[in-house]
Amino acid sequence: MLKPGVIQSLPVLAGPVLTVYLNTDQAKQINRGFKPGYLIRLESQAKLIAQTVSPDGQELFRRQLQRIRTYLERQSLRCRGVVVFSGRDTWEFVPLQVEVEDEVHWGTPALAQLLWLLDEHKRYGVVVPGRKRTRFFLYWLGETRELEEKKFRLEPSKKKEMGPVARRGVRLSRGTNRDVFEHHVAAEFAHYDQQIAERIGRWVAAEQLESIFLVGLAQMVKAIRKKLAPTLVEKIVLIEEDLGWVSRTELFDRIEPAVVSYKRKCEMAVVDALLGGVRDVVLGIDETLVQLQQGKIRSVVVEKGLNGSLQQCTSCSWTDRASDPVCPACGGKRVNVALRDVLPELVRRHDASLEIVSTESAAKLRARGGMGAWLREFEKKEYPASA
């Protein structure tokens, strides 16, 4: 799983750096065999890039290309894509379990596609409560990582006295002592649920999680949800199925359809709220870029795959679609850039967020220009009702 420290280090890597993005998905026949397709595509794109490298940089470029090629030939890749940053004093190899488009760049680290992936794939938490333990998973960029588990233990003396009633949902009706013990069990589990709820609250705040999927028997997950703060409840999705006994791989195979469905509902909710706004939103590429660079936008929404040609000032970085070769802001020289290459950086530079939508919600937004945004004083994020 990609580490935050790596992300922070990439923009300051000393150049020149050879940046390579490759789709290495072994589910595709072309990427299997004696010479996988991704190596062929690497060589093909590298030939084109080599033609733009200065004579003084040719030797270093060839060494970095051979370094990457040799590494890929020796590795048994089990990831859907890789990103490599290779330079004189630099080596970062990032395997990813999400779809990657082939790209090769020489010079400063090419981060645009990686930034798009980080904005597209939100960080989700998955909590799987059981009678004896609760498991916590981080789900991000197509990968899962188990963080910890919270175990449930009754006091030994109480456990011995209660015998078979020391389980949630079991009630033996004979005897006052049994009723007392049942109340004790209920209180213990209520305390356990409270601890889990508090752990979720701290986790969401620390990791800035988009949502939490609570997976387990209906009685358990609903009990934990009741203990959560009202501001967190809207981020909770219940999957009422006992999956505490399955492996990590099987767990996420089972819940992935629910995660995808929830993500699509969130995207549609975002687009509907955007298109339904009046004075609190802007729509279209041109107006969004202007307001963004004036610091008036808090959140940009864009359809996945949207691209186009922009003009960017080499002095002040003002960016728009006007064809004028002179910057309207400072009079500086302008160069042609791709929207997909500069939008993630523009959003970050102006302290905004980026929401990428796909499928039906993307088609709906495309009809209104493919891009829109909320102005700072009005933006509110909405979530679909939990299952």
- What local confidence, expressed as pLDDT, does residue 382 receive? 52
Each residue's pLDDT tens digit, 22-65: 999 999 999 998 899 999 999 999 999 999 999 999 999 999 99
Q: Is the pLDDT of residue 159 over 50?
A: no
Higher pLDDT among residues 166 and 231, named by residue: 231
What's the pLDDT band for 10 if we cut at 50, 70, 90?
confident
In this structure, how many other beta carbons lie within 10 angstroms of the beta carbon of residue 261?
13
Higher pLDDT among residues 193 and 1, named by residue: 193
**Largest Cα span, the chain:** 91
How does strand 297-303 pair with strand 353-357?
A: parallel
Average pLDDT taken over every residue of the chain: 89
Q: Compute the half-sphere exposure of residue 290: CA atoms within 13 Å on the CB side of its CA.
A: 10
Q: Is the pLDDT of residue 172 over 60?
A: no
Domains of the chain with CATH codes: 4-110 (3.30.960.10), 124-245 (3.30.420.60), 270-375 (3.30.1330.30)
Q: Which whole number is the average pLDDT over 116-136?
A: 91
With pLDDT > 70 as the criterion, what percentage of the chain qualifies? Answer: 90
Highest mean pLDDT among 144-153, 157-166, 203-212: 203-212
The three-class DSSP label of residue 299 is strand
Q: Give the Cα separation of 277 and 63 in Å (integer).
A: 54
Respond yes or no on whether the N-terminal peptide bond of residue 16 is cis (omega within 30° of 0): yes
Each residue's pLDDT tens digit, 257-301: 999 999 999 999 999 999 998 789 999 999 999 999 999 999 999
Highest mean pLDDT among 130-134, 181-185, 341-345: 341-345
DSSP per-residue string spanning 18-79: EEEEEE--TTSGGG-SSS-HHHHHHHHHHHHHHTTS-GGGHHHHHHHHHHHHHHHHH----S
- What local confidence, expressed as pLDDT, does residue 387 receive? 45
If we measure between CA atoms, which residue out of 217, 213, 203 comes closest to residue 236?
Answer: 213
If we measure between CA atoms, which residue out of 359, 349, 290, 366 comes closest to residue 322?
Answer: 290
Q: Which whole number is the average pLDDT over 320-325?
A: 94
Q: Give the Cα separation of 127 and 122 in Å (integer).
A: 16
Instruction: Give whole-number Cα distances, 255 to 149, 154, 266, in Å.
Output: 19, 30, 17
Q: Which whole number is the average pLDDT over 203-227?
A: 94
- What local confidence, expressed as pLDDT, does residue 176 receive? 63
Strand partners, 149: 135
What's the pLDDT band for 160 if we cut at 50, 70, 90?
very low
Q: Which whole number is the average pLDDT over 76-82?
A: 93
Q: Which residue in this structure is represented by tokens 């020489």?
A: 106
Each residue's pLDDT tens digit, 341-380: 999 999 999 999 999 999 999 999 999 999 999 999 754 4
